[in-house]
Amino acid sequence: MAGANSNRNRGPAGSQGSDSAVDPGTPVLRISQLDALELDSALEQLMWTQFTQCFQNCRPGLLTPVEPELKALLYLLLWRFTLYSSSATVGQTLLSLRYHSTSSSSAHYKPLSPRQKLGLAVFTAAPRWLQERSYRLLPCLGLSPRGAASEMDGGLLQRGLRKALALVSGLAKFATLVNFLVFLRNGRHPVLAERIAGAQAVFSKPNVVRDVTYQYMNRELLWHGFAEFLIFLLPLVNLRKLKTALLLHVLGGKSSDGERAGEPRDVWKDCGLCGEWPTMPHTVGCRHVFCYYCIKSHSIADAYLTCPKCGAEAGTPEMVKMEMQILDR
């Protein structure tokens, strides 16, 4: 019994020790905090996509009238099972981060209070909902959503509301910008809602370092450099001419000579590009014949066009002149 009691006492002490071992003053990388926000945004978008797929067989536009409310409800549902229960979002959990209450002056970790969690959810979801729902709220207040003049714009109340709304929106955007600049300076509170609610991202485990091995870095740099090199090189390569030269080299000289020996008799029967009977036959300087529309469209698309049969450089398309004899029977 004494051993069991000692083990029970060690459990909570060990957990408290691990929490106290995490120093809230340890700076968290700015890129880690931004990555956590990106992961949370990607998860919200994924949930919304999966939710809308459930209604893909319904009539189009069914969810459009209540789309802002549904997005807010999905965010609150995600907040209930992540941030409210563990003081950390999904993105922060993946990066070994969690929220610490800045209202505490102690050097030990303190989780967010329910009021702070609720405030963080409200300050995050409410601005999004207002921004998406504003196009319907403005007509209800007698305002024009596009700022166009209307019959009700003459009143002082309507003009005052419009100016106040524009002022509040501008101040909110300016405050968001200032907060992000301050975040780049001191590395805390990348979102204005976190600063208002008093939530700061800290490490959930002691001595957590975002380690990227040299092997991973070298592989990524190599593939990115190779992709940029291909993007620069491919437009400079004439793939059609290269393919023709390769085929001629692979087929050998005998087969090409044999084909050339029989070409003068039947070369005018087939277009060198489409293989059909040539319409308005034209030539580009070699013995092969092409449809006018075929050779013209290919020459416009490729300034360095070559004959796909013999690989000769294509010149200006010229009409083929043929002599025909009528034989009496």
DSSP structural state of residue 313: B
Rounded to the nearest 5 percent, the helix, strand and coil shares of the chain are: 60, 5, 35
pLDDT digits (tens, 9 = 90+) for 121-169: 999 998 888 888 776 666 665 555 444 444 444 467 767 777 877 788 8
User: 172 by DSSP, 3-state: which?
Assistant: helix
74 and 190 within one domain? yes
Distance between CA 87 and CA 99 in Å, rounded? 6
Distance between CA 70 and CA 82 in Å, rounded? 18
Question: Looking at 1-5, 161-165, 177-181, 214-218, which range is the least confident one?
Answer: 1-5
191 and 54 within one domain? yes
pLDDT digits (tens, 9 = 90+) for 28-66: 889 889 999 999 999 999 999 999 888 888 888 888 888
Task: Answer for the pair 271, 291: CB distance below 8 angstroms, yes or no.
Answer: yes
Encoded tokens for 18: 């691990």
Q: Which CATH number does the domain housing residue 288 bear?
A: 3.30.40.10
311 and 197 within one domain? no
295 and 189 within one domain? no
- State which of 154, 176, 203 marks the end of a domain: 203
Quickly count: other Cβ atoms within 10 Å of residue 225's Cβ.
10
Is there a domain that residue 153 lies in?
no
289 and 174 within one domain? no
C-alpha closest to that of 78 among 112, 109, 39: 39
DSSP structural state of residue 324: -
Alpha helical stretches, state H, the chain: 2-21, 30-53, 67-81, 83-86, 90-94, 114-140, 156-186, 192-197, 214-233, 239-251, 253-266, 292-301
Is there a domain that residue 68 lies in?
yes
pLDDT at 40: 92
Is there a domain that residue 74 lies in?
yes
Is there a domain that residue 236 lies in?
no
**pLDDT exceeds 80 at position 120:** yes
Distance between CA 291 and CA 271 in Å, rounded? 6
pLDDT at 222: 87
Distance between CA 278 and CA 295 in Å, rounded? 11
306 and 196 within one domain? no
Is there a domain that residue 24 lies in?
no
93 and 179 within one domain? yes
Residue 192's identity, in one-letter code, is L
- 27 or 98: which carries more pLDDT confidence? 98
Is there a domain that residue 279 lies in?
yes
Supply the mean pLDDT for the chain: 76
Percent of the chain at pLDDT exceeding 90: 20
- 248 or 32: which carries more pLDDT confidence? 32
**pLDDT exceeds 80 at position 306:** no
Positive or negative, the CA dihedral 193, 197, 202, 205 is negative
109 and 195 within one domain? yes
Quickly count: other Cβ atoms within 10 Å of residue 68's Cβ.
19
Domain of 66 in residue numbering reads as: 30-143+162-203
| pLDDT range class, residue 96, cuts 50, 70, 90 | confident
Range 51-58, long-range pairs (CB < 8 A, 24+ positions): none
pLDDT at 129: 87
Percent of the chain at pLDDT exceeding 70: 71
180 and 278 within one domain? no
Residue 212's identity, in one-letter code, is V
Residue 160's identity, in one-letter code, is G
C-alpha closest to that of 37 among 96, 83, 73, 91: 91
60 phi and psi angles, rounded to 5 deg: -65, 145
**pLDDT exceeds 90 at position 110:** no
Task: With 0.85 as the threshold, say if the pTM is over it.
Answer: no
275 and 196 within one domain? no
Number of domains in the chain: 2
Average pLDDT over residues 280-288: 81
Instruction: Report residue 164 CA to chain centroid gap.
Output: 35
C-alpha closest to that of 273 among 306, 234, 313: 306
